[in-house]
Homo-oligomer: A and B are copies of this chain.
Amino acid sequence: MDKQTITIYDVAREASVSMATVSRVVNGNANVKPATRKKVLDVIEKLDYRPNAVARGLASKKTTTVGVIVPDVTNMYFAQLARGIDDVATMYKYNIILTNSDSNNEKEVKVLNTLLSKQVDGIIFMGNEINGKLREEFKRTKTPIVFAGSVDEEDLYARVNIDYVAAVQEEVKNLIDRGNRRVAFVCGPLEQAINGKFRLKGYKQALKSAGIPYDEKLVFETDDTYKTGTLLQPALMAVNATAAMVTDDELAAGIMNGMSDADVKVPDDFEIITSNDTKLTEMVRPKMSSITQPLYDIGAVAMRLLTKLMHNEPVDEKNVLLPYGLMKRESTK
């Protein structure tokens, strides 16, 4: 407990300079005579002095730490985003406080507040349902926030995404063009804007363009889990769907395996296209065709954007859309 810590004051005394000077050399301030700098550096080395980041944070009001709120790191989609975030954070000398929210609103609010109390310099938020309470909390803080892979209907916050509407529309169109008249839309909670307002919109637009009436029975609102996917086959068959546009890879994998287990051949009897292009798409058999998103980059760009915000640099566009694509694998014809 009584660890005798070496402070800046010890260094100052030992090098017979003032704390201010030590602080200057530690922070690479130019206004120090080379000779003094060397002297101080030597003492630092000798005493093995390590600046205390907490004290530094209090004095400078910068913690070089950012908060990252994620639904669940255990989901590859978010894990890959998180990795992108951490890598560029490290690049800019920031660290990340990572917290799992389970997309639970109460937890999100709570964790946001503890992050703010810890004086993080910025926040990256993932999660797509920004309801009243949470939005309020977002609004009252001056700490920069950016959303990663998460939409903001109100267009208030910086964020980086792909064009979900266009991507889904395009792929559903492809499905239709290949002869599928009954394309299911299997998604996570519709309350989440990314599903309910964006992807669903793309789905509807594709139907409309093809002159196919929208049939509510074809949309399946789920919880985005593998398990749920495996149980969906009977329901999908019951509505005569011949293809599905799925919004999550684990969910899609579940559906696909459920189909295979029920002897429904993918893609011959049922086509599946998924949305996140995580590693998983390559690991399952058949490999899943997917909308491609630069997951790592979404995280990386979001973090980069956040550094700009934190340093008061101008940002040209706060709604960043990264390019998407289609990776045709084996779950579509």
Residues on A lying within 8 angstroms of B by beta carbon are 1, 3, 50-55, 57-58, 63, 65, 72-74, 76, 79-80, 82-83, 86-87, 90, 95-100, 113-119, 142, 226, 250, 253-254, 257, 260, 279-280, 282-285, 312
Contacts and interface: CB of A to CB of B under 8 A. Distances in A.
Contacts of A58: 52, 54-55, 58
How many copies of the shown chain assemble into the complex?
A: 2
A254 B285 CA distance: 11
Nearest to A51: B117
A229 B114 CA distance: 42
The 3 closest A-B pairs by CB, nearest first: A98-B98, A53-B118, A54-B57
Given A65-B118, A73-B73, 16 more contacts: A73-B82, A73-B86, A74-B80, A74-B82, A74-B83, A76-B79, A83-B100, A86-B99, A95-B118, A96-B97, A97-B97, A226-B279, A226-B282, A250-B283, A257-B283, A285-B285
A3 B143 CA distance: 10
Chain A interface, >50% SS class: helix
Of listed A63, A98, A113, residue having the most chain B CB within 10 A:
A98
B73 A79 contact: yes
Contacts of A3: 142
Contacts of A52: 58, 117, 119
Contacts of A97: 65, 95-98
A117 B7 CA distance: 12
Given A83-B73, A95-B118, A100-B83, A50 B284 contact: no
Given A53-B117, A63-B54, A83 B76 contact: no
